[in-house]
Amino acid sequence: MMEDRIQDVIIPHLITELRKEGVAGLPEYERRLRNNAGDTEVFKDLLFEADAALMFLHHGFEVTLREKPDLRIEWNGEVAYAEVKHFREKEQDRIDEQAMYESEDLVPVGILVPTEGSEAWEQIANVAVRKVNQYKEDAPNILVIATNSNSIDGIILPTAVHLYNEQASSDPRLHKLNAFVLIDQWIELRTNRNVYFCQTACAVTPLSSKMIDALTSIQQWSTPKNITSIRYS
């Protein structure tokens, strides 16, 4: 059974590799993995928390996996918290791919209203709003978006943040969020940028300029082979 493979092979391997990398908070993270081993999609979503942890770690941050928010990151003594959201491949991605295959002309892609009722930037902003209770009080917070969808990309991130700012202007609860980080895992990474950072305009607990510089400097990330990029068969 797939669940047996996840419990007996994938989780022990993942925890061992994360421990080698220096990620903290592994006992609680392992518990959550095992509790969700029977739901492959949720389990895969949890892997993106580890992937985000590795991204920060490989760029000089100290990282602890936790719950609500998902990560504690530290840079030169300054602490911030990160909540992670995974956008899976969408039905519209498959429709767009088929349309591009069948047409010799340029075709519009990434338009989500026909299949999902809202555009991609609206979905990002809505996720940020829904997660308001996950953000830590009196501390800087970051929302990390990991996307496997061609419809969710770095180009639309400023529009999503602008929409979030508009909603935050009338909702003080939203002032806990400092910034968005988007990891575009759909891009085949060679030399192209695939990590994007964008600040909100409303955070009450600021990030220092040094922390902002450290976050902005993250331009590329590719999941390490045999750690969170795991075959399920």
| 11-36: pLDDT as tens digits | 999 999 999 999 999 999 999 999 99
Is residue 110's pLDDT more than 80? no
Cα–Cα distance measured from residue 122 to residue 126, given in angstroms and rounded to the nearest whole number: 6
In whole numbers, what is the pLDDT of the chain averaged over residues? 87
| 69-93: pLDDT as tens digits | 999 999 999 999 999 998 877 666 6
Cα–Cα distance measured from residue 96 to residue 109, given in angstroms and rounded to the nearest whole number: 6
Q: Locate the domains of the chain by residue range.
A: 50-216
Residue 122: band (very low, low, confident or very high) from pLDDT cuts 50, 70, 90: very high
* One-letter identity of residue 120: A
| 143-159: pLDDT as tens digits | 999 988 878 888 899 99
pTM for the whole structure: 0.89
Cα–Cα distance measured from residue 198 to residue 203, given in angstroms and rounded to the nearest whole number: 12
| 188-212: pLDDT as tens digits | 555 578 999 999 999 999 999 999 9
The rounded percent of the chain whose pLDDT value lies above 70 is 82
Residue of 5, 68, 56, 48 whose CA lies nearest to 217: 56
Cα–Cα distance measured from residue 67 to residue 159, given in angstroms and rounded to the nearest whole number: 28
User: What's the confidence (pLDDT) of residue 232?
Assistant: 47
Q: 61 or 107: which carries more pLDDT confidence? A: 61
